[in-house]
Amino acid sequence: MKKYTKILLMVSLVFLLICPTIPCLANSAEPPSITIITKNPPDDLELTLTVGDQVIEARTDDKILEQYFSFYASSLKNEGAYLITMSLDGEKSSIKIEDPPNHYNNIYTLDWEKGTLTPGKAPFRSAKLVGLRVSFTLLLEALVFFLFGFREYKSWTFFLFINLITQGILNIWLGSHQLLGSYIVFALVFGEIFVYLAELISFVHVVKEKSTLRRVLYVLLANTLSLVAGGYLISLLPL
């Protein structure tokens, strides 16, 4: 238990480097935005944003079960009336955003059936998505762990312990950023570097089954596969 506590402390220190850090991207920063999340929207749903006398078209990003409508404009910093116009089945309806957005990136959830707009994300949405991604990663890395010949109970206990921590922190961190499209892949690669470091340190010092080289090779292969699979999942699933 003391050994696990020390490892947990080391891993926590590694990931503390992630938390306050946002990936530095080569392109210029995007303007302030409003992102509207819709669950299972119909194909003909269209949204526009009116700020004063300016009408802003949405950029859309399709995911499994969800679609994002994002509006970018420097005028989002200005106070004034914000009006979302929803076009569906040839009919239009408007929803007023009562309080002007006060963050650089603003998220709302649209219930297109009821015609209501709620600030933030739906309750438990992030927890479910994090759980789904972590579960998939655990299954993938468990298969690699098994194929590398690890059979001891202590090895598997530590495997679950360290992966729940590293993958949990990584996926929670990814979900905290309002990044769409290819930008989130940069964030995944950046965060995965710390997972490599944390798991290399942990498996080399704690797991005694098999040789050190085999443990190192397992970590490198498992996390490389996890990175590739994670990038693919992120392109399909919401964050």
Residue ending a domain, choose from 53, 88, 119: 119
Domain C-terminal end among 119, 148, 165: 119
Q: Are residues 11 and 50 in the same domain?
A: no
Interatomic CA distance for residues 173 and 198, integer angstroms: 15
Whole domain around residue 191: which residue ranges?
2-27+124-236
- What integer pLDDT is reported at residue 12 of this predicted model? 54
Q: Which of 119, 140, 167 is the last residue of a domain?
A: 119
pLDDT, tens digit (0-9, with 9 covering 90-100), for 114-128: 888 888 888 788 888
Residues 128 and 22 in one domain: yes
What gap in Å lies between CA 91 and CA 112, rounded to an integer?
Answer: 13
Do strands 33-39 and 105-111 pair parallel, antiparallel, or not at all (unpaired)?
Answer: parallel
151 and 194 within one domain: yes
17 and 37 in a common domain: no
* pLDDT of res. 25: 43
Same domain (yes/no): 109, 12: no
Q: What is the CATH number of the domain that holds 42?
A: 2.60.40
- Both 23 and 136 in one domain: the answer is yes
pLDDT tens by residue, 4-42: 555 555 555 555 554 444 444 444 455 678 889 999 899
Arithmetic mean of pLDDT, 157-162 = 96
Q: What is the pTM of this model?
A: 0.76
pLDDT in tens, 169-188: 999 888 876 655 567 888 88
Do 220 and 138 reside in the same domain of the chain? yes
Assess contact for 159 and 147: CB atoms under 8 A: no
Least Cα distance to 84 among 69, 97, 66 occurs for 97
Structural tokens at position 80: 């004034």
pLDDT score, position 82: 85
When divided into structural domains, the chain yields a total of 2
- The Cα–Cα gap between 18 and 173 comes to 8
